[in-house]
Amino acid sequence: MTDRPAELTIDDRTVAVAVAQFAPGDDRVHNRDVVAGLIAVAASRGARLVILPEYASYFTDPLGPSFARNAESLDGDFVGALSAAARENDLFIVAGLVERTEESRKFSNTLVAVAPSGDVVATYRKQHLYDAFGARESEWVVPGALDDPQTFEVDGVTVGLQTCYDLRFPEVTRRLADAGAQLVAVPAEWVRGPLKEFHWSTLLAARAIENTLYLAAADHPPGIGVGLSAVLDPMGVTLAALAETTGVAVAEVSTARVREVRERNPALLLRRYGITPLP
């Protein structure tokens, strides 16, 4: 074991990742316009992957019946706009949308990953619903099935998907690490409240450190969200971040860095417990 940096190999890859922070509203057309603008800004700064918040297609506070009325299918206008932006800017996009379900009053809190071809390459439906701190997301949202971890590849970097409240359940990120993720994308609407900014920052760092991988998290800014969107490295160090405003932050992620950290801290190899879904 050594503290010297790992030497680069021909298989190592580096990818520029952007987190885009904004506050979606109840005007779906306006949301799509804002998303397109943020993606273009990220592309101009060299991003190859752009991560947008949870509920990027539609949001209003509190959750209610308007969400199901404004829900879209995966071949609807919002995903269509993401596909067009991905093709135009030649990059990958991850974003949260309000997806239509078979239940008339409920929707799915869904993430889509779109490739530069415009194709959807991964889909994740939020598994842990936010029934905490006085909220009841389950009144309006259908929980995602306990499917296999959702991952996709960006230029040799394996990216996993999870959403917001999932951060409080460390086994979600661990399953992604076991599935080969080197970077986890976390679209969120992390609601403000007593110590919630502290929880957000602490949990992001913890999930990165314990799984020795990168995290890239995109939140809504205040007044409802906490902001603080960030890209963290496998040692939990913040590489790029935003404060309370709308904007884009970009950082490079490196497979060599993941390998180096895992050589120094082989926690994934040394653990003695696995993960089994509850019945």
For residue 207, is pLDDT > 90? yes
Gap between the Cα atoms of 261 and 242, Å rounded: 25
Catalytic residue among 72, 106, 126, 137: 126
**Could you tell me the pTM of the whole model?**
0.96
Q: What's the Rg (C-alpha) of the chain? A: 18
What is the structure's pLDDT at 8? 64
Structure tokens at 244: 């309370």
Catalytic residue among 106, 164, 189, 260: 164
Q: Which of 174, 188, 255 is nearest to 219 (CA)?
A: 188
The rounded percent of the chain whose pLDDT value lies above 70 is 97
Q: How many domains does the chain have?
A: 1
Gap between the Cα atoms of 205 and 211, Å rounded: 10
Asked if the structure places residue 1 within a domain, the reply is no
pLDDT band at 7 (very low <50, low <70, confident <90, very high): low
Asked if the structure places residue 4 within a domain, the reply is no
Asked if the structure places residue 274 within a domain, the reply is no
Asked if the structure places residue 40 within a domain, the reply is yes
Asked if the structure places residue 5 within a domain, the reply is no
Per the structure, the complete domain to which residue 170 belongs is given by 14-267
Asked if the structure places residue 276 within a domain, the reply is no
Asked if the structure places residue 159 within a domain, the reply is yes
Q: What does DSSP say about strands 49-51 and 107-114: parallel, antiparallel, or unpaired?
A: unpaired
Average pLDDT over residues 269-276: 94
Residue 240: give its domain's CATH number.
3.60.110.10
Return the higher-pLDDT residue of 154 and 3: 154
Structure tokens at 113: 């990953």
Average pLDDT over residues 195-223: 98
Contact 186, 216 (CB under 8 A): yes
Q: What is the pLDDT of residues 121-153, one digit of tens each?
A: 999 999 999 999 999 999 999 999 999 999 999
Asked if the structure places residue 278 within a domain, the reply is no
Work out the number of other CB atoms within 10 angstroms of the CB of residue 244: 13
What is the structure's pLDDT at 1? 45
Please say if 164 is a catalytic residue.
yes
